[in-house]
Chain A
Amino acid sequence: MKHRSSQQEGFTLIEVLVGLVISASVIAGLTTLASSVNIGWSQVVRKLSSQEKVSTGLAIAAGDISRIQRIADRQSKPPQFHFHGQPSSITFVVQERPASGAKGLYWVHLFSRQTSSGTALIRVHAPFYTTDGSAAAAKWADEVVLSEGGFSFSFSYKRAHGASDAWLYDWREHDTLPGLVRIQTTESRTGAQAYPPMVIALKVSAEAACVNIESPACTMKSLGKLMSEKN
């Protein structure tokens, strides 16, 4: 044996096998550990990014909804507010934030759309013209994806001062604005609630129409209800 090894300077089969077994088990152990770290890491990253998306999406939507302008459409009979609320979309008029680079009144339309990766909450806006103020005539632009991924969003509405009222999925009282708007976030895959529903109160700001307190578009005296013109 000694003689042979000094002549050939190699390993015996047993040595090679033992070495192989040890290195194989060491490598296997390390690989399992490393891959579970990798899986866990991507899980953390996925969860954080979906949280971040939902949270910014909801914050932007809530910011918009709380600033809804009380502007009446005088052309329509009976008069109605510039506001449309459906379960999967909401359309209203706001004063755009100065930071957005757009000045003045804008229509804003928030809606959900099916995409390849699930459901997306989208925001588009269009300049609001008092002359032709209908949402149908709006030229939507500047599409922003507020949230995209495995979540679905739905809107519901509640009357002002209507604590015991039910949530409505379609807003049909066109002569008033809802007091509360609710956004429900569910997981698209399971339909389970992902986060508690976000309830947003519409800020009660002075209406431009109330420059003349007798104007039927000024709803300060009528509990938010638009009155028909008396003439």
Chain B
Amino acid sequence: MDKHRDGENGFTLIEVLCAASIAAFAIAGLYASLTTSLRATDRLDGHMGARITARSVLAELDNEPRDILRNRHGTSGEYNWDLQVEPASGDLARISPPGFQLYDLKLTVFWAPQGHIEINSVRMRQ
């Protein structure tokens, strides 16, 4: 055997199998990280849609400047949103001009299976 190897300078079967299994482990690792990043792009998709939804809800609110702000909720495609309105408290409340009231808005957008984003904003109403 030793003599054989000296003459040919090749790999034994064991060596090849070892190398292949190491490569398999490496590729399996890559594969696992790939699955993670695929899931991450899906989550990113969800976030992007939720951001667009939130922006749209606030835009529709701004188109009705005389409406009284109140809690409301709605659905846009696969996104559900929920708007909580409260009169602003603290320093913000003090800077509003007489006759106007500042409101704290808390907008939450949910999507399946368990994504959600929360956006805080303020709006002024007479």
**Residue in B closest to A36 when the chains form the complex, CB atoms:** B31
Report the contact-size class of chain B (Cβ under 8 Å from the partner): 35 or more
Within 8 Å CB of A62, what residues of B?
55
Would you call A160 an interface residue if the criterion is a C-beta within 8 Å of the partner chain's C-beta atoms? yes
Does B44 sit within 8 A of A, measured CB to CB? yes
- Our pick among B35, B49, B59 for the contact of A200 (Cβ within 8 Å) is B59
Assess the A22–B13 pair: CB atoms within 8 A. Answer: yes
Shortest A182–chain B CB gap in Å is 8
Interface centre among A43, A161, A200, A201 (most CB of B within 10 A): A201
- Measured in the bound complex, the distance between the Cα atoms of B62 and A58 in whole Å is 19
Are B67 and A163 within 8 A (Cβ)? yes
Complex CA distance for A48 and B47, rounded to whole angstroms:
13
Q: Say yes or no for B38: interface residue by CB 8 A criterion.
A: yes
B55: chain A residues within 8 A (beta carbon): 62, 198-200
Any B CB within 8 A of the CB of A195? yes
Q: Which residues from 1 to 45 on chain B have a C-beta closer than 8 Å to any C-beta of chain A?
A: 4, 7, 13, 16-17, 20, 23-24, 27-28, 30-31, 34-35, 37-38, 41, 44-45
- The answer to whether A26 and B30 have CB atoms under 8 Å apart is no
- Closest chain-B Cβ to A44's Cβ sits at a distance in Å of 5
- Interfacial chain B residues near A55, Cβ < 8 Å: 48
A196 and B34 contact, Cβ closer than 8 Å, known pairs A23-B16, A51-B44, A163-B67: no
CB distance from A154 to the nearest CB of B (A): 15
Distance to closest chain A CB from B35 (angstroms): 8
Question: Which B residues are CB-close (under 8 A) to A198?
Answer: 52, 55-56
A20 to B65, CA, bound (A): 78
Number of interface residues of A (CB under 8 A): 39
A37 to B38, CA, bound (A): 11
Whose C-beta in chain A lies nearest to the C-beta of B57? A199
Binds B, one of A27-35, A73-81, A89-97, A131-139: A27-35
B121 CB within 8 Å of chain A:
no
Interface check A70, CB cutoff 8 A? no
Say whether B126 faces chain A, with CB atoms less than 8 Å apart: no
Judging by beta carbons under 8 Å apart, are A180 and B63 in contact? yes
Contact A44 B28 (CB under 8 A): no
Q: Which residues of A contact B79 (CB under 8 A)?
A: 196
Give the residue of A9, A34, A58, A201 whose beta carbon is less than 8 angstroms from that of B27: A34
Query: At the interface, yes or no: A118 with Cβ under 8 Å from chain B?
Result: no
Q: What chain B residues lie within 8 Å of A123 (beta carbons)? A: none
A26 and B20 in contact (CB under 8 A), knowing A33-B31, A44-B37, A163-B67?
Answer: yes
The listed residue (A26, A37, A160, A200) touching B34 by CB distance below 8 A is: A37
| Cα-based distance from A121 to B80 in the complex (angstroms) | 28
User: With the chains together, A36 CA to B24 CA distance in Å?
Assistant: 13
In the docked arrangement, what's the CA distance between A41 and B33, Å? 10
Q: Chain B residues in contact with chain A, CB under 8 A?
A: 4, 7, 13, 16-17, 20, 23-24, 27-28, 30-31, 34-35, 37-38, 41, 44-45, 48-49, 52-53, 55-60, 62-67, 76-77, 79
